[in-house]
Amino acid sequence: MASLRDIRRRIKSVKNTAQITKAMQMVAASKMRKAQEAALNGRPYAELLNRVLVSLRDRVDSSLHPLLERREVKHELVIVLSTDKGLCGGLNTNLFREVGTFDQATTQFISVGRKSTQFLARTKRNMIADFALKDHPSFLEVKAISKFAIEKFLSGDVDKVTVLYPRFVNTLNQTPTKLSLLPITSLEEAGLIGIEGEPIAAPEGGLLFEPSAESILDAIVPYYIHYSLYQTVLATRASEHSARMVAMKSANDNAKGLVKDLTLEYNKARQAAITTELLEISTAQLALG
């Protein structure tokens, strides 16, 4: 049985750990709210972008655009969006499990996040680039990644570009999701990254495009790709902070439960020590008498 001093030390150590996890939980909750707001603030623009693309669909031959060209998939490029830090439950583990579904011989990877970089290097996969983003990434930072992917697709090095990221469903649920970024499989899916709801129909009467619908399509399709990747990055940040908040709350609750059990064990040990001491005193008195 552990001594009273050992139990006191364990109680103090667990309480200190609980203070750390509580602070991390509060920080993650604050960052989660900001990340959710950032993702939700992009919804009106995404819906407008979707309406424009749906309206363009019926006016031009979208199959002629190079970024919409479908080819036999011989080589695939996968952009893996992960976190930079750990302590976020099984978020990264579930994400990396999906990496194993890609053919290692024909798949190239782009890592976004320190954890995915470490995983791809450890499993010796063909990682052609890695990018680091800030906690609050800007559109221009993410655009550099999507431009790199577009160049690989247009050059013919890859026939498909996929984004693997943890889609934010709610605070308790983040689902690893594969998004086909290139070629764009359906214009109706445009703008719905991280948005729940039905596809948006083209507005009645259509839209007027100047100078021409073809030139608008040439300009808006690359921008859609940049914005889609940006939305997935925002969803990844919201998922990260949500998972970390839940993990730290669970750790804090477990620490409190452990302190309660250790306190009970300490009281029992202290009570046994007092009883033993009383018995020794009583035995000594009887011996003297």
Residues serving a catalytic function are 88
Q: Are 67 and 225 in contact (CB under 8 A)?
A: yes
Nearest-CA neighbor of 45 among 179, 225, 227? Answer: 227
Q: Establish how many alpha carbons lie within 13 A of residue 47's alpha carbon, considering only the half-sphere containing its beta carbon.
A: 13
In contact, 183 and 158? CB cutoff 8 Å: no
Burial (CB count within 10 angstroms: exposed 0-12, middle 13-18, buried 19+), residue 143? middle
Rounded Cα–Cα distance for residues 210 and 203 (Å):
17
CA pair distance 96, 114, nearest whole angstrom: 13
